[in-house]
Amino acid sequence: MNISDTTRQEVRARAGFACEYCGITERDAGSELTIDHFKPKSASGADDAENLVYACFRCNLHKSDYWTESETAPQIFNPRLQFAAAHFLLAPDGVIYAISEIGDLTIARLKPNRPPLVVHRRKINKQLADREFFERTQTANKLLAQTNDQQRRVIDEQQKILEEQQRLLKIILRSGNK
């Protein structure tokens, strides 16, 4: 593979340092991932950045040198040209479901629902849900504190009004007794 270090770093950064097929990150994998030719070299695929995909070892292994030669047959998902949301649905339980022919073919070929990946995505979904719950709780606590401050100000104002009324009442009572 004649890919320069500059191109390799560009592909890594563009992918957010995660497999563009299954989403596993370098951090979670414990090392850098692999560079995959979307259109394999065996099918005349080029070494240019637009044909290169950052992939984990397993996705790269499952994809291998797969290429559909037919113009009418669906190809596997191309993260360079397509949006994942058009082909896949990530369920809260961590399972990826196909919502297109490309999604069906990609899931059959790359097997992104490997048990460790499903568990990993479920864990990430739980962390995101926990973070969202924490943020909502923080917002609710801030609103509650603001409400308490407003109530304190209203009570203080009512106390001042009550004291003023008592003072006026004493004046009225004194002037009525004279």
Confirm whether 136 is domain-assigned. no
Q: Report if residue 97 sits inside a domain.
A: yes
Is 16 a member of any domain? yes
At 34, give phi and psi (nearest 5°). -110, 160
Asked if residue 109 belongs to a domain, the reply is yes
Q: 95-111: buried (b, 16+ CB within 10 Å) or exposed (e) per residue?
A: ebebeeebbebbbebbb
Mean pLDDT along residues 1-15:
91
Q: Is residue 129 part of a domain?
A: no
Give the pTM.
0.71
DSSP string, 30-78: TS--EEEESS-GGGT---SGGGEEEE-HHHHHHHTT-----SSSPPPP-
- DSSP letter at 94 equals S
| pLDDT exceeds cutoff 70 at 16 | yes
- Does some domain include residue 121? no
Side-chain half-sphere exposure of 144, counting CA atoms within 13 A: 6
What average pLDDT does range 11-29 have in this prediction?
95
Any domain includes 39: yes
Q: Cα(63)–Cα(43) distance, rounded to whole angstroms?
A: 14
Mean pLDDT of the chain: 93
Residue 25 lies in a domain: yes
**Domain count of the chain?**
1
Residue in the structure block whose two tokens are 């390799």: 8
Band of pLDDT at residue 80, cut at 50, 70 and 90? confident
**Domain range for 59:** 5-113
